[in-house]
Structure 1
Amino acid sequence: MFISVLDLFKIGIGPSSSHTMGPMMAANDFRSRIYQLVAASSTNKAMHVRCVLKGSLAFTGKGHATDRAVVLGLHGYTPEALSEQDVNALTAELWTTHFFTVNKDTVITFHPDNDIIFDKQETLPQHPNGMIYTLLDENEDVLLSETYFSIGGGFINTLAEISQLSAPLKMEPAKSFPFPFDSARSMLEMSQQSNYSIAEMKRANELTKISADELDEGLDKIWHAMQRCIKNGLTTEGQLPGGLKVSRRAKKLFNQLQDDSNKKATLNDWLCAYAMAVNEENAAGHMVVTAPTNGAAGVIPAVLYYMVKHENGSLENVRDFLLTAAAIGGIIKHRSSISGAEVGCQGEVGSAAAMAAAGLCAAQGGTVKQIENAAEIAIEHHLGMTCDPVGGLVQVPCIERNGFGAIKAHTAAALARRGTGEHFMPLDNCIEAMRQTGLEMSHKYKETSLGGLAVSITEC
């Protein structure tokens, strides 16, 4: 299997990779299909679009801005293109436009309040994050229809694509790459045989598709975006949108740490400040790097930022970190899931922590066995974690949870490097345990806000 580091880490906007970025990409794809249909015909029929959101997208789509994402996508916007824009103002303008244009002069009617339907009745069997886009004429006859699935991390599949795959992934066959590992075990074996590190193997695979300069530029762009997101979060105050009236805390915490005259600030304090800064930006719908999801976007940047700012990490350390983390993330996505709607938050923050632990261990000079051990420790201690966002918003418990994910990642890397790399539970087995736990987990705890903390709030 192969999934590029530049696909696993994507620059976009909050608050969710599966509920915001994925639906936006699906809407944009459907817009392209309308364009092709119109270009191939000479019809002058009045046409309009309808979008039906299913499963988790229906239950928590409002809080995750799925409806806004659909509007933006149908108007031709992509997540990365919006990272520098005032998304709130743009959405407000497009919401009342009630149409979009393809082929310059073909008008497609679209009224978001009526044409986006949150269907909470039946979940599509292929995946809990389903959506059906339909183009209809004035008689409600279907001219074009496509079913999409947002499978986590901003990745999407059509019905045909997801039905053809044993796992809902867009990955290329392993045989075309020099190091075609599809498990932690094969990764360890290939490293031992080649005497390459995980980062070196991942780089070699990437270089079959792009040049070394393109890869490094892409990695550096990701790192710069992560830093910008942290800095934005550390300098912004106020209340987060959505109705819970949650106040931002990262700036205040950061200022306290900087003003700490007794130097009592701990590693945990700094990691929480950095991680919470990212996830407050995500909750506000601002620019964020999917790492590997938006709900878990603070873990990896926090650990990386601490490594650079407090432990003198170099740019080469950063690149090795990201390549190693991506190798681990690709294995998790291939063998299980990074989608909260599919396996709960163990698949989001748990995966991010495993990736961060592996990346940090690698950057600090850990052996391949120690790196695999670090990833296993981190994910093991997230097993069973539910996805139960209060109010369907990526705020409570998501923001603090990223801080604790970063702490666990750093601890896992440190613990692994203290050992020889020999350990009892292999990473592959731990990933399989996560998959099985997700399969048996009630849908109430998988990003539907029907259980757990989401229903444990008593209003006074």
Structure 2
Amino acid sequence: LPFHPNGMKFVAFDNAGNQTDEWICYSVGGGALSEGEKGRWLTGLREVYKLNTLREIQDWCESNGRGYWEYVNENEDEDIWDYLMDVWKAMKESVERGIDHEGALPGPLNLPRKGPIYYVKASGYKQSLQSRALVYAYALSVSEENASGGIIVTAPTCGSCGVLPAVLYHLSKGHNFSDTRILHAMATAGIFGNVVKQNASISGADVGCQGEVGVACAMASAAACQLFGGSPSQIEYAAEMGLEHHLGMTCDPVCGLVQIPCIERNAFAATRALDANLYASFSDGTHSVSFDRVVKVMKQTGHDLPSLYKETSTGGLARAYEQHMKEKK
């Protein structure tokens, strides 16, 4: 179908076989749906944010001496903070459930859960390595909860759900950030996710894994940079790096499951987000390629990718795994 790869046409007939109605619906990523030939949004019909590029939003922040989260507060209803508190609670619970949930993941791969093991092993390392290992454990745990049908938060999608919770949970635990500051960081992360969703895509079937794990990394990078006092330009730079260095990442899940390579990608993207924050924090925020530019490049790159690298499991790692299993037999 023309608008998006994840589309379905429903056709209704009466008892005589005459068509009475039809409906085209698209699953466009992150749980959102749209309908019709041109993809009218079914969710979020009310236009909450009038500014649709990061450059416009950053200009607003700098002109008014505000942060990105204050732009959210300016445009959303009052209950946004109650909603984000529910999201934060769900994120924390997904980390903690995953850490305590041992055994193999469902499906033919018989993949053992690694989150609990990484969490236990982290305690045996020095502080510097322990910190990194805990981030791995948190991201793995959430992604494994998703892979086994547990409750997670689409941030921005199910397949990339481990990145933002891992970073926020780690920083909350390790630096004693208050829930209020975490919610402000989460609101900032949402702004960056929304900009991508508005101007490109967060669907692996549309643009590959760069639109899922890459965007999740950008969101987590922005959140981390804000928590550590980054300026609007430094936060934008951190997010830009988080997305730029995932450009071209294919979506080639083995057996069509969000297990290999998806779970590991969440863990690596979470640590990359922390690196992006650190790199941006050392800078003054000045850089050559803007976040908006990277979003445009990501969209074009994704559309240039052949379909076998976009969630179809017909190429890349998925195909290589099938060949490996045949050779073993």
TM bracket, shorter-chain basis: over 0.9
Please say which of residues 347-356 and 262-271 is displaced more in the overlay: 262-271
Aligned counterpart, 1:155:
32
Q: How does 1:297-308 map to 2 (within 5 A)?
A: 297-308=161-172
Letter in 1 for 2:100: T
Alpha-carbon contact 2:3-2:37 (below 8 Å) kept: no
Aligned counterpart, 1:200:
70
The C-alpha deviation readout for 1:266-290, integer Å capped at 9, x for no partner, is: 3321111100101101000111100
CA distance in 2: counterparts of 1:181 and 1:264, whole angstroms: 40
Higher relative contact order (CA 8 A, sep 6+): 1
CA displacement at 1:171 relative to structure 2? 5.2
Letter in 2 for 1:442: P
Q: Could you say what secondary structure the match of 2:27 adopts?
A: strand
TM-score scaled to structure 1, two decimals? Answer: 0.68
CA displacement at 1:261 relative to structure 2? 6.5
Aligned counterpart, 2:182:
318
Q: Could you say what secondary structure the match of 1:157 adopts?
A: strand
Q: How does 1:301-450 map to 2 (within 5 A)?
A: 301-450=165-314
The C-alpha deviation readout for 1:274-318, integer Å capped at 9, x for no partner, is: 001011010001111000000000000000000101121111111
Aligned counterpart, 1:61:
none
Higher helix share: 2
Aligned counterpart, 2:143:
279
Change (3 A) 1:431 1:138: same
Letter in 1 for 2:51: F
Confirm or deny that 1:246 pairs with 2:97: no
CA displacement at 1:255 relative to structure 2? 1.3
CA displacement at 1:172 relative to structure 2? 4.0
CA distance in 1: counterparts of 2:70 and 2:136, whole angstroms: 31
Change (3 A) 1:262 1:354: closer
Instruction: Name the larger-Rg structure.
Output: 1
TM-score scaled to structure 2, two decimals? Answer: 0.94
Aligned counterpart, 1:181:
51
CA displacement at 1:447 relative to structure 2? 0.5
Change (3 A) 1:303 1:262: closer
CA displacement at 1:419 relative to structure 2? 0.8
The C-alpha deviation readout for 1:337-363, integer Å capped at 9, x for no partner, is: 111001000000000000110111112
CA displacement at 1:138 relative to structure 2? 4.4
Q: Could you say what secondary structure the match of 2:152 adopts?
A: strand
Alpha-carbon contact 2:210-2:250 (below 8 Å) kept: yes
Which ranges of structure 1 fall in alignment gaps of 5 or more residues?
1-123
The C-alpha deviation readout for 1:109-156, integer Å capped at 9, x for no partner, is: xxxxxxxxxxxxxxx122100112344444544444311000011000
Change (3 A) 1:269 1:332: same
Letter in 1 for 2:104: Q
CA displacement at 1:265 relative to structure 2? 3.5
Matched length: 324
Letter in 2 for 1:151: V
CA displacement at 1:169 relative to structure 2? 8.3
CA distance in 2: counterparts of 1:427 and 1:300, whole angstroms: 18
Aligned counterpart, 1:452:
316
The C-alpha deviation readout for 1:202-224, integer Å capped at 9, x for no partner, is: 11111xxx22xx22211110000
CA distance in 1: counterparts of 2:68 and 2:162, whole angstroms: 23
CA distance in 2: counterparts of 1:328 and 1:379, whole angstroms: 10
Alpha-carbon contact 1:169-1:334 (below 8 Å) kept: no
CA distance in 1: counterparts of 2:247 and 2:45, whole angstroms: 25
CA displacement at 1:185 relative to structure 2? 1.1
CA distance in 2: counterparts of 1:308 and 1:343, whole angstroms: 32
Which ranges of structure 2 fall in alignment gaps of 5 or more residues?
none
